[in-house]
Amino acid sequence: MTHSPLETDPRFWILSEALASYATGAGDPSPTDPGCLQAAVAVVVRATPSLELLLIKRARSERDPWSGHMALPGGRRDPTDESLRTTAVRETLEETGVDLAGTGVPLGRLDELKPGSVRLPMLTIAPFVWGVPAQTEARVASTEVDAVHWVALDTLRHPETHDDVHIALPGGVRTFPCYRVVDEIVWGLTYRILRQFLERFPDTTLRAP
């Protein structure tokens, strides 16, 4: 019999409990403004010894407001998606080939966020957290994705990974907190989601069984 990572890895029990007690549960957030679009992303945690998160680098495109950015797999809700969690599952499969419906375990979700800039689309983003087995592989499965990376939680927690980045915006240069990983900069919405995730999840010193 094949067991899910939630059944075999105590760290996923800890994460599931942390998310449940935190607040939001695994379902969709409450309806938002009618004029506000909805999107969802997947925080995919792989059950390797140090635990790893799946990040993508978006391909450069004039139509994408997050062109070239480091991000979590996900996207806007399709009219055929029965829920935002369905959106996260579908987009993760389309972008990275990771089948959360087949091999993943839903662990909960984080608070939804909105872009902080009026230049970006008016939408809310719901982050859903999933656990996947250690052998899970990801690949570039869409023209919208330039690269995929697994990043250890220990790396994200390390003080040397934390930095600031200076971004040139129409109103002038602004400074934002960021993570520096795999020779890339993670900032903005993705940084905010990862920071929220790390705040909710206790230290990962517990090793895999």
In a domain, 134, yes or no: yes
Cα–Cα dist 181/140, whole Å: 18
In a domain, 58, yes or no: yes
Reading the block at residue 161, the tokens are: 């990974």
In a domain, 122, yes or no: yes
pTM of the model: 0.87
pLDDT at residue 163 in the model = 96
Q: How many CB atoms lie within 10 A of CB 85?
A: 21
In a domain, 60, yes or no: yes
What CATH number is associated with residue 102? 3.90.79.10
Q: Which residues pair with 196 in a beta bridge?
A: none
In a domain, 169, yes or no: no
Q: Kindly report, residue by residue over 114-164, the tens digit of the pLDDT.
A: 876 556 567 889 999 999 999 999 999 999 999 999 999 999 999 999 999
SS3 (DSSP) at 196: helix
Note down the domain range covering 123.
5-157+186-200
**Sign for the pseudo-dihedral over CA of 92, 118, 113, 194:** positive
Q: Kindly report, residue by residue over 71-99, the tens digit of the pLDDT.
A: 999 998 999 999 999 999 999 999 999 99
First vs last C-alpha separation in the chain: 18
Number of domains forming the structure of the chain: 1
